[in-house]
Amino acid sequence: MELLSSAMDAYSNLELDSAKNMLEKALAMKADVDDSTLAKIHVGLGVLWVGGYSDASESKNHFITALCLDDQVRVDPLFSTPEIDLSFTEAKASVSPSSCSELGIGEPILEACGPFDPIFEQKAQNEVPFYIEVSPAFRNQLSRVAVKFAFENRGQFRELNLKTTGVGFNGMLECDTGEIRTINPSSIQYYIEGYDASNRLICGNGSKESPLEILMDANYPLVSRPGLDPKECVECAPWDEACRARQKKSAGIKSAAGETCSMDSDCQEGLVCNSEMFTCEDKSAGKPKKKGDKSGKGPDKFYVTLTGGSGFGYMSKDIELTFYDENKKTIRSSANSEYLVETNGVVKTNELKAKGTGWSGIPIRLSLGYLINSKISLEVSGRVDAFIAANSEPVSCWDAAKGDLDSLTAEANENYCSTNLFSARNDLNLTDEEIKYLAENSAALDSDDGEMFKVRKTKNNQMAWLVNARVRYKFLSKGGLQSSLFGGIGYSKFKYKVLDTATNTKYYVLAGMVNVELGLGLAYYFTKNVGVILDIPIDFAVGKGFAFNL
């Protein structure tokens, strides 16, 4: 219509009165134009009244009339301003059968479900609340009210069911279910529909063809509704793979091999989405698995590993090594005599203390694991290290002589038994009974005169072991190559050796303790179930020391 076009040109040139006259002349010709053209004339008047005369009320009335005539009508982007857009949005929220009826315009198909206070602006990256009060006419009919929403004019509307509250319905477009966290939309389009018990649509606010709109911006204030407090939608947690996958999808980024997916289109070229693990993999590996099929790299859910290795340990805390029970009598050296028994019978023990380092042998570890997802798994493992330890024990020279000093063998004499015992009898004038008492009840002494006892090495089988539970995080998965970090807690018996300076004898000691484990893992899978694994754990024994193993 030429008159409408001339009026809007005059408005652009700030000839407001001229534009108003032309629009009113065009409106007077409404009998000769269709509803769609008449709606555009009312939109022109709405733009003029708020943009030219700053009269939002008169502008809104014209916008309502335009929408009643044609719910597809829009403001020309050339004339769009925040004030004009706000007035038009408010008009869309006010369109109802009654408002159109009052204007003598045919009613829309659906009657509004009830009074509704729409949100036009919301702070970005925050949830969006909805509340609608149900009209008395529908309170006994409405069974379900749903918000149909879409992001950034994409036109793909999804559904959010509201909950009953008092005389209305409310609900929240949340961070995850509404995908505000992952998409971070700049605008949300929506409309509301009400259904009866038979799921028949009986009312609505807005429509798919003429939806309401919420603009999202970080500078807008946070808007809430009674009983609905929106939360801020922070970034995805590092371990939340599903959240990150949604972010990638919304940004158009394809997932690489081993990363999360929901369908083949989520994966990079040449990859497909595994329907069991929901991770991207090679097309050949993505085919449905049959029983006995060994395609793919690495296990799907459960796995068992059997590994062997070696390492070293260190004990930072002194460990007491006691040869004799405290109930046995002992002697102690003194300034006057080294072999006098305490007259009061006080018992003392010979305690040796030492720190130590040692080789951990060749332990065998068995692990049972379960994959929670493509990156995180739980494991229970045990390590056993059977070995032959060289332990030392004191042996009475009296026992070696079998109670007869004259029958001491050459071997016993080499261990100074003969020298010590004969010195005790001859030099100290001790009787055989006194020597026997000393030999049977005293601890090994180191003196200038020699030892009362020989120290004999014995061989016996001992076992070091560890059981623990740990979590493994796989941070690299490329083809068959995998890298991971793991950590856990358990209980163990570590083997290590100490040096007793008194007897110059090496001891192997087993100490039970709680341990914390941290480590790095490397693996390469040739097939789904066969691969090479290298784990490098460091076990920290609480209060005792640590072990480093492969």
Of the candidate CATH numbers 3.40.190.10, 3.20.20.80, 2.40.160.20, 3.40.50.11540, the domain formed by 302-549 belongs to 2.40.160.20
Whether the predicted pLDDT of 232 surpasses 70: yes
Q: Which helix (H) or strand (E) segment is 371 a member of?
A: strand 364-371
Residues with Cβ < 8 Å from 241, sequence gap 6 or more?
Answer: 259, 260, 373, 374, 375
Range with the poorest average pLDDT among 218-232, 411-425, 439-453: 439-453
Range with the poorest average pLDDT among 119-133, 258-272, 410-424: 410-424
CA distance 13 to 164: 52
Residues of the chain with CATH 2.40.160.20: 302-549
For the ranges 315-324, 343-352, 541-550, the one whose mean pLDDT is highest: 541-550
Residues of the chain with CATH 2.60.40.10: 109-234
CA nearest 241: which of 230, 226, 229, 256? 256
Q: Which residue has the tokens 């341990």?
A: 515
Is the CATH number 1.10.3720.10 carried by domain 109-234?
no
**Domain 1-108 belongs to what topology?**
1.25.40
Q: Is 185 left (phi over 0), alpha (psi -120 to 50) or beta?
A: beta
pTM: 0.34
pLDDT category of residue 169 using cuts at 50, 70 and 90: very high
- 353: which strand partners? 320
Residues of the chain with CATH 1.25.40: 1-108
Q: Calculate the CA 499 to chain-centre distance.
A: 46
- pLDDT per residue over 297-343, tens digit each? 667 788 888 877 766 666 554 443 333 233 333 333 323 333 333 33
- Tell me what percent of the residues of the chain surpass a pLDDT of 90: 14
CA distance 483 to 473: 9
The DSSP bridge pattern shows strands 158-161 and 302-308 to be unpaired
Q: What average pLDDT does range 488-498 have in this prediction? A: 66
227 compared with 501, residue with greater pLDDT:
227
